[in-house]
């Protein structure tokens, strides 16, 4: 059986006739950068536990402050035991204030400290480390000179001096003070990783194509260091929790009337027999449980976030517009 040229026609100029609408493009981007990472997290039991715990504290710091009234002085009998009066399910302190309301209203300032301090530290370290490692030369030398100076400063005495001098009341300012030197070590570690990454073939290909430095750093370099960056973010967040609680407990941060912090609760419990009388152990235990639980949630979330930046894992959890179209055709 013979075939003539008319029987076989090949149109080499045919292009795809599928054009995505603006809505479909938005759906695809949302799925790729929002929904797929969430599915990746939810598929890991560690990240799932962390998300639940962090989500619980986010609800406490937002909705909880609107539902639970602020602690009132002498609003109930002092040293009320937990689960005796459901109006104060976690008991009361020496001034008749509910411990549950104190924990709830101290959550929002704590979250503000964590976000401000961890974001500041991580952002500074990532920018300085990636630019220094990729550019090299004078930029690298000057950046690392500054980093070395910051790393030689003892962080704890500096934070105590700044806290005692500035007496910051805004939680965001407190978070920035607590993370004032935390970025230096990470920036040097990121620089070391970028020094090896910049010699990779795909980085060289991007440079050959004429892509800008900002584009290469954003699309080729940063995704490869993000697992390490996320670990640092979580570690910095935990350090801010412990540092703020410690400084409020020791009195280096102002604890005037109305200050809401778990460290203030621990300080008041310590100064009023919370560690001496067995009947008052709950007073110390309530803020301690909140501190440990939030820290544990951050650890579990941090252990699961490294999978987000694996493109193969993220692709398996993506549901694109093409998938929806194929499903509609098959149905």
* Residue numbers of the domain that contains 94: 38-69+89-318
Domain membership of residue 93 (yes or no) is: yes
Spatial distance between the Cα atoms of 114 and 176, rounded to a whole number of angstroms:
9
Q: For residue 290, which phi and psi values (nearest 5 degrees)? A: -65, -45
Q: What is the pLDDT of residue 118?
A: 92
Q: What is the pLDDT of residue 115?
A: 93
Q: What is the pLDDT of residue 328?
A: 42
Q: What is the pLDDT of residue 292?
A: 94
How crowded is residue 321: how many other Cβ atoms within 10 Å of its Cβ? 17
Q: What is the pLDDT of residue 222?
A: 83
Of 181, 167, 152, 151, nearest to 247 (Cα)?
167
Q: What is the pLDDT of residue 245?
A: 92
At how many degrees (to 10) do helices 155-166 and 222-250 cross? 60
The residue whose two tokens read 């008052």 is 280
Domain membership of residue 17 (yes or no) is: no
- Check residue 98 and report its DSSP letter: B
Q: What is the pLDDT of residue 77?
A: 86
Cβ-based neighbours of 16, under 8 Å, separated by 6 or more: none
Domain membership of residue 15 (yes or no) is: no
Domain membership of residue 30 (yes or no) is: no
Q: What is the pLDDT of residue 95?
A: 86
Domain membership of residue 28 (yes or no) is: no
Q: What is the pLDDT of residue 14?
A: 44
Q: What is the pLDDT of residue 325?
A: 45
Q: Is the dihedral of CA 74, 80, 82, 87 positive or negative?
A: negative
Domain membership of residue 24 (yes or no) is: no
Query: What is the per-residue pLDDT across 18-76, written as a single tens digit (0 to 9) for each?
Result: 566 777 777 776 776 677 777 777 787 888 899 999 999 999 999 999 998 888 888 78
Q: For residue 3, which phi and psi values (nearest 5 degrees)? A: -125, 135
Q: DSSP for 34-75, please give it.
A: IIHHHHHHHHSHHHHHHHHHHHHHHHIIIIIHHHSPPP-TTS
Spatial distance between the Cα atoms of 79 and 95, rounded to a whole number of angstroms:
8
Q: What is the pLDDT of residue 20?
A: 65
Spatial distance between the Cα atoms of 180 and 120, rounded to a whole number of angstroms:
9
Q: Which two tokens stand for residue 15?
A: 């292009």
Of 118, 119, 78, nearest to 97 (Cα)?
78
Q: What is the pLDDT of residue 290?
A: 94
Spatial distance between the Cα atoms of 105 and 190, rounded to a whole number of angstroms:
37
pTM of this structure:
0.80
What are the CA-CA distances from residue 38 to residues 51, 151, 293, 297, 317 (Å)?
10, 36, 22, 16, 9
Give the chain's residues under pLDDT 50. Answer: 1-17, 321-322, 324-331
Domain membership of residue 159 (yes or no) is: yes
List the CATH number of the domain containing 192.
Answer: 1.10.3720.10
Count the alpha carbons within 13 Å of 301 in the hemisphere toward its beta carbon: 21
Domain membership of residue 282 (yes or no) is: yes
- Our count of domains for the chain comes to 1
Strands (DSSP E) along the chain, which ranges?
A: none
Q: What is the pLDDT of residue 316?
A: 65
């Amino acid at each position: 059986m013979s075939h003539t040229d008319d029987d076989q026609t090949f149109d080499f100029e045919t292009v795809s006739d599928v054009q995505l609408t603006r809505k479909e493009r938005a759906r695809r981007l949302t799925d790729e950068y929002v929904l797929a990472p969430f599915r990746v997290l939810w598929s890991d039991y560690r990240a799932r536990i962390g998300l639940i715990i962090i989500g619980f504290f986010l609800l406490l710091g937002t909705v909880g402050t609107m539902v639970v009234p602020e602690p009132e002085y002498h609003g109930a009998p002092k040293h009320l035991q937990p689960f005796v009066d459901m109006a104060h399910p976690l008991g009361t302190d020496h001034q008749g204030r509910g411990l549950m309301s104190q924990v709830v209203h101290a959550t929002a300032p704590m979250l503000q400290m964590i976000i401000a301090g961890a974001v500041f530290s991580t952002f500074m370290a990532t920018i300085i480390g990636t630019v220094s490692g990729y550019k090299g030369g004078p930029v690298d030398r000057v950046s690392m000179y500054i980093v070395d100076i910051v790393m030689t400063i003892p962080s704890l005495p500096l934070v105590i001096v700044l806290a005692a001098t500035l007496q910051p009341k805004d939680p965001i300012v407190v978070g920035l003070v607590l993370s004032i030197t935390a970025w230096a070590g990470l920036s040097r570690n990121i620089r070391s990783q970028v020094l090896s990454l910049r010699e990779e073939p795909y980085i060289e290909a991007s440079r050959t194509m004429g892509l800008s430095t900002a584009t290469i750093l954003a699309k080729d370099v940063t995704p490869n260091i993000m697992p390490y960056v996320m670990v640092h973010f979580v570690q910095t967040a935990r350090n801010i929790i412990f540092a703020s609680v410690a400084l409020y407990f020791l009195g280096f941060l102002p604890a005037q009337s109305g200050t809401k912090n778990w460290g203030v609760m621990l300080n008041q419990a310590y100064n009023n027999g919370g560690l001496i009388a067995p009947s008052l152990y709950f007073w110390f235990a309530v803020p301690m449980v909140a501190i440990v639980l939030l820290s544990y949630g951050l650890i579990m979330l941090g252990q699961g976030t490294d999978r987000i930046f694996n493109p193969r894992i993220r692709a398996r959890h993506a549901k694109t517009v093409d998938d929806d179209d194929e499903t509609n055709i098959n149905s």
